[in-house]
Chain A
Amino acid sequence: MDVGMRNRQIANAYYNVGLAKARERDLTGASDALKKSLRFNKYQTDARNLLGLIYHEVGEVGAALAQWIISLNLQETGNLAEEYLKVLQDAPGYLDMADQAAKKYNQSLHYAHNDNEDLAVLLLMRMVEEVPNFVKAQQLLALLYIHHEDYTKAGRCLFQALRVDRYNPMAQRYMAIAKENTGRAEVEKRKLKNAFSHRQMQDDDIILPPSYKENTGLQSILNILAGLVLGVVVLFFLVTPTIRDSITHKYEEEIRRGLELVNQKSLQIDELNRKMEEASAAQQEAESSLAAMVDNSGGVISQYQRLAQILQAYRTEDMRTAVQVFAETDLAVLNDGVLNDIVAWLQQDMAQNGYQVLEQLGDEAVTRGDMAQAVEYFQKSLQINGENIGVKYKIGLAYKNAGDVDTANEYFGDIIMNHSDSEYAAQAKEQRGF
């Protein structure tokens, strides 16, 4: 038999040992055997895959991945490692969670080495809740608890560790210490002793249940008293809370109804407020409309009053007053249809005769030296007859005489540019100094 074959046989034997131990959940023992197997034959794929599985089982996912990747490199086809890797990669968030667990364990170990045991405990506590099969983390947490003499908590961690790796030597050693310090070891020892101290029963032996006791008179009275006390306790702890809950529920229901009523009323108040705001807005609108109607200068009523003045002036043949009032009247607001014919006639008559009167009034104002009044009359005249170039020229002159040369030049310029063939063009040029 050649050396290679010999090595493969030894490797296979170690693999079998490892497999047997793994089946008994002696994962530490299995791991040792499998490592030996691989030391004899690195191509023992089953041993490497099982080693990866064991690493995975004890929470060392990184180490498991490493073994399976190596396995797949050494045997590319027909290898279970491929399936293992696929399962892990397909599990959403699993690798991330495992990586976080490893990082937290390493950080905790760092804290523990640097006298930050409290931080290490906090970090490990949270981590092992998520990954309870992380044996190394459970052991480290147990060691920290033992160091703080919190043996009960240490025992819980070690119990979890030993559920995964049943014969883990370190966990067993720590567990022995935890049991020793919690009295658990003594209890177990006693149980064990009782288990091996039984004697064979004889025919006349009577088995009494552990709860059996002979009652005496005093015992009976005590039992009655105990029953009464128990009854009171039951009444206090079971019946009273029920009654209290019922009353509380009733009051809560009434409060709820009250709140609903308040809520409804609140909604009604909101609705009424909204309507009041709408009414207020409508009132304001009506008031402003009324104010516009009675407004002294531009209101509709004022314009009707002026129309009446114009008609009265016509009746007394006072054309100057009629024209003056007409110039101040806004006939556009009298659009209710009632006086359309009168308004139309008035506008036509003013277009024919009114503008001359206004021009005349303007001339009189110029004579009085009241240039502002003169401009106003001329402007009104121009409103009635916009083609009266002479009035434009007079406006220019009035402005010039009032010292407003710029405005005057605008009028002169308008005549020069737009009415160059009129008789006033030359005079306008002269006024501009051309």
Chain B
Amino acid sequence: MLDFEEELKRFRPSLEIGNVEDAIGKEDLTDMTDLMVELLNEKKN
């Protein structure tokens, strides 16, 4: 049997169109290449 409360926690709000701009600003666009470059820079320093 399902645990209703637990199942409900799995649901996330949907992105409303008025909030798209904010969502784009908060989107983490870091990819693996960025991370590696960052690591290399840290190593060099």
Partners in one complex: yes
Question: Which residues, 6 to 29 on B, are CB-close (under 8 Å) to A?
Answer: 7-8, 10-20, 23-24, 27, 29
Using Cβ atoms and an 8 Å threshold, which residues of chain A touch B1? 177
Q: Which residues, 212 to 233 on A, are CB-close (under 8 Å) to B?
A: none
B4-A143 in contact (CB<8A): yes
Interface residues of A in 57-76 (CB under 8 A from B): 59-63, 65-66, 69-70
B11 A140 Cβ-Cβ under 8 A: yes
**What's the Cα separation between A70 and B34 when bound, in Å?**
17
Q: Which residues of B contact A170 (CB under 8 A)?
A: 10
A10 to B29, CA, bound (A): 17
Contacts of A98 in B (CB 8 A): 17
Contacts of B11 in A (CB 8 A): 109, 112, 136, 139-140, 143
Structural contact, B32 and A66, CB atoms closer than 8 A: no
Contact between chains at A99 and B29 (CB < 8 Å)? no
Count A/B pairs, Cβ under 8 Å. Answer: 88
A66 touching B20 in the complex, CB below 8 Å, given contacts A7-B33, A42-B31, A113-B8: yes
Whether A60 touches B15, Cβ cut-off 8 Å, given contacts A7-B32, A39-B31, is yes
Contact residues in A for B14 (Cβ distance below 8 Å)? 59-60, 62-63, 101-102, 105-106, 136
Q: Are B16's CB and A42's CB within 8 A?
A: no
Residue A183, interface by CB 8 Å = no
Give CA–CA (A61, B16) in the complex, Å.
8
Contact of B24 (CB < 8 Å), options: A40, A59, A69, A140: A69
Interface assignment of A191: CB less than 8 Å from any CB of chain B: no
Q: How far is the CB of B7 from chain A (nearest CB, A)?
A: 6
Query: How far, in whole Å, are A64 and B11 apart by their CA atoms in the complex?
Result: 18
Tier of interface size on chain B: 20 to 34
**Most chain A Cβ neighbours within 10 Å, of B10, B20, B30:** B20
Give, as a whole number of angstroms, the nearest-CB distance from A219 to chain B: 48
Q: Are B17 and A61 in contact (CB under 8 A)?
A: yes
Chain A nearest Cβ from B23, distance in angstroms? 5
Complex Cα distance A146/B7, Å?
Answer: 11
Most buried by A among B19, B23, B32: B32
Which one, B8, B16, B23, B33, contacts A112 given CB within 8 A? B8
| Contact status A102-B15, CB under 8 Å | yes
The contact string, 1 if C-beta is below 8 Å from chain B, for chain A 10-43, is 1100000000000000000000000000111111
Q: Please encode chain A, from 128 to 148, with 1 for each CB lying within 8 Å of some chain B CB and 0 for all others.
A: 000000001001100100110
Q: Give Cα A143 to B3, complex, Å.
A: 10
Q: Check A62 against B33 for contact (C-beta < 8 Å).
A: no
Which residues of chain A come closer than 8 Å to B17, judged between CB atoms? 61-62, 65, 95, 98-99, 102
Q: How far is the CB of A420 from chain B (nearest CB, A)?
A: 95
B2 pairs with A146, CB closer than 8 A: yes
Task: Assess whether A103 is interfacial by the CB under 8 Å rule.
Answer: yes
In the complex, the answer to whether A102 meets B24 with C-beta atoms within 8 Å is: no
- Of the listed residues B2, B12, B30, the one surrounded by the most CB atoms of chain A closer than 10 A to its CB is B2
Tell me the minimal C-beta distance from A134 to chain B in angstroms.
8
Alpha-carbon gap, A259 to B30, bound state (A) = 81
Report chain B residues within 8 Å CB of A209.
none
Q: Evaluate contact between B2 and A66: CB separation under 8 angstroms.
A: no
Specify which chain A residues have a CB less than 8 angstroms from the CB of B29 in the assembled complex: 42, 70
Q: CA separation between A42 and B37, bound complex, in Å? A: 14
Query: Is residue A78 within 8 Å, beta carbon to beta carbon, of the partner chain?
Result: no
Determine whether A192 belongs to the interface, using a CB cutoff of 8 Å to chain B.
no
In angstroms, Cα B30 to Cα A7, docked, is 13
Contact for A106 among B2, B13, B34, CB less than 8 A: B13
Q: Which residues of B contact A7 (CB under 8 A)?
A: 31-33, 36
B2 lies within 8 A of A39 (CB): no
**Could you list 15 examples of A-B contacts with CB < 8 Å?**
A3-B36, A7-B31, A42-B30, A59-B14, A63-B15, A65-B17, A69-B20, A102-B15, A102-B16, A105-B14, A106-B16, A109-B11, A112-B8, A143-B4, A174-B2
Other than the given A62-B20, A136-B14, A174-B2, 11 more pairs (CB < 8 A) read A7-B33, A40-B31, A41-B32, A43-B31, A62-B14, A62-B16, A62-B23, A63-B14, A66-B27, A99-B18, A102-B15
Closest 7 CB pairs of A and B: A62-B15, A99-B17, A102-B14, A42-B31, A102-B16, A106-B13, A7-B32
